[in-house]
Structure 1
Amino acid sequence: MTKQSTPVEPHATANAEEPAPAPVRRGPGRPRHADTEERAYRAVLELFGHRGWAGLSLDGVATHAGIGKSSIYLRWKDKRDLLLDALRDLERRYVTPEETEGMTLRDYLVAHATARANLYLGEHGPAISHLYSAALANPDEFQEIRQERISKGVLSLEDRVQRAVNDGELPPDTPTREFLDAIEGAILVHVLVSSPDTIEDMRAKIDDYVATLVDIQLRGVGAAV
């Protein structure tokens, strides 16, 4: 007599599949990548620098940064907020020369103007340059950026120049704002009117250029150089 085998129930098989674990739900705004914000900041500054305000979008930033669109939209409601945060981050990393004991006004101005020039000539120089024209053309969108004075430049030296006037380092009738405008404007124009193939040469000679520029402005207001 042939012995019949006992059928094996499906649930008793050794290779039965385990139920798939439930997906982990992420909280609102939680980054998919640890460096999401850093990548978004870099992307928005690069795109703003190359395309300007009109060519900037959150979708474009997500694509350029290689991150999910949801990661962008969970953090920033529009491109203005993202650009503002990126500029704040850039400001935190911008190194402002400190005044040391015994430093002359000339040396202080040269240090700040050189740092400013290197910012224009640096990685995010195009974005900083576009900032001025965009703020002029879009006053409402850029009002907060104007108020916070995101781009620290030579114009932030007004107090130091005024102190120099009060201490007699500069003549009493020195027009502080105009004096600094001349330095800031000259640096900006110097960078903007130069062709891309001269940037490396400009970087190599920027220290001499800035020193000469500051000396010209100091002589122009009647200060001893």
Structure 2
Amino acid sequence: MTEQSAPVESHATAHAENHTPTPVRRGPGRPRHADTEERAYRAVLELFGHRGWAGLSLDGVATHAGIGKSSIYLRWKDKRDLLLDALRDLENRYVNPEETEGMSLRDYLVAHAKARANLYLGEHGPAISHLYSAALANPEEFQEIRQERISKGVLSLEDRVDRAVREGELPKDTPTRQFLDAIEGAILIHVLISSPDTLEDLRAKTDDYVTTLVDMQLRGVGASV
């Protein structure tokens, strides 16, 4: 009886078992950023301020912010949602003057007018200015943004003016909306059409401008200043 010999490993098989292939080292991908949302918010406001609604895209935001496109698309389904979140974040960081006990209507309106002017003259002023024209041209896309961001500030002022009417700070026949429109609109127009030598020069003159504006509107409705 002939003894069966064990199978002989081929040279190729032995080589494969004794030599584990070296893993292929891939080049580093785009690094993940802990501040992805912050970078995206800044980028979308900058692009919206310079290019408007038509020139805004999620791909453009990703490139401008230096963020991977997948990071953008995982968080926001479209540019409207990203812009809305960026505006919410801006409002949270925006110092909105609070009414203190015993604060007069005049001082309250002046504080808000100065804050509004500083917002227009700030880093994201161009985006805020574009917001109004974009909301008018794109009513469906901007319906939620209009309700949350544009109307909210004016409505808070309306409540204070209505209270002033009830408490006798303003005459009973004061047209609240027109009264506030005159202040809000004048500030925006002032910032848009003024052409000072420098932005700092315009900022320096704005406090006096808005104070005079508020006093003029109060006198116009018959309130004492």
Q: Which amino acid aligns with 1:210?
A: V
Match of 1:107 in 2: 107
Residue in structure 1 matched with residue 207 of structure 2 by the alignment:
207
CA contact (8 A) 2:110 2:210 kept: yes
Cα distance in 1 for partners of 2:151, 2:71 equals 27
Residues 45 and 127 in structure 2, CA contact (< 8 A), matched pair in contact too: yes
Q: Provide the residue aligned with 1:93 in structure 2.
A: 93
Query: Does the C-alpha gap of structure 1 residues 132 and 60 become closer, same or farther in structure 2, counting only changes over 3 Å?
Result: same
The more displaced of 140-149 and 171-180 is 140-149
Alignment of 1:1-225 (within 5 A): 20=23, 32-149=32-149, 153-195=153-195, 197-225=197-225
Aligned to 2:6: none
Give the structure-1-normalised TM-score: 0.85
Alpha-carbon deviation of 1:91? 1.3
- Greater share of helix: 2
- What is the Cα-based RMSD across aligned positions, in Å? 2.4
CA deviation string 1:89-126 (max 9, x = no partner): 11111111111111111001000110011000000000
Higher mean C-alpha displacement, 192-201 vs 215-224: 192-201
Give 1:19 shift.
6.0
Q: Alignment partner of 2:102: what SS?
A: coil
User: Where does the alignment leave 5 or more consecutive residues of structure 2 unmatched?
Assistant: 1-13
Deviates more, 1:93-102 or 1:112-121: 93-102
Structure 2 CA distance, aligned partners of 1:197 and 1:77? 42
Q: 1:182 to 1:90 in 2, by over 3 A?
A: same
Once residues 77 and 196 of structure 2 are traced to their aligned partners in structure 1, the CA distance between those partners, rounded to angstroms, is 35
Q: Distance in 2 between matches of 1:88 and 1:220?
A: 35
Tell me how far apart the structure 1 counterparts of residues 74 and 197 of structure 2 sit (CA, whole Å): 40
Aligned to 1:28: none
Higher CA-based Rg: 2
TM-score after normalising by structure 2: 0.85
Structure 1 counterpart SS, 2:188:
helix
Task: Give the AA of the match of 1:41.
Answer: Y
User: Compared with structure 1, are the counterparts of its residues 183 and 150 closer, same or farther at alpha carbon in structure 2 (3 Å cutoff)?
Assistant: closer
How many residues align? The count is: 208
Separation of aligned partners in 2, 1:125 and 1:155: 21
Residues 31-82 of structure 1, C-alpha deviation per residue, up to 9 Å, x if partnerless?
A: 9210001000000000000000011111111111011111111111111111
Structure-2 change in CA distance of 1:187 and 1:49 (3 Å) = same
Distance 2:135 2:196 in 1: 24
The 8 Å contact of residues 88 and 149 in structure 2, kept in 1 or not, is answered as no
Identity %: 86
Equivalent-residue separation in structure 1 for 2:137 and 2:99 (angstroms): 36
Q: Could you tell me whether the CA contact under 8 Å between 1:179 and 1:217 is conserved in 2?
A: yes
Which structure 1 residue ranges, 4+ long, deviate > 4 Å from structure 2? 9-13, 16-21
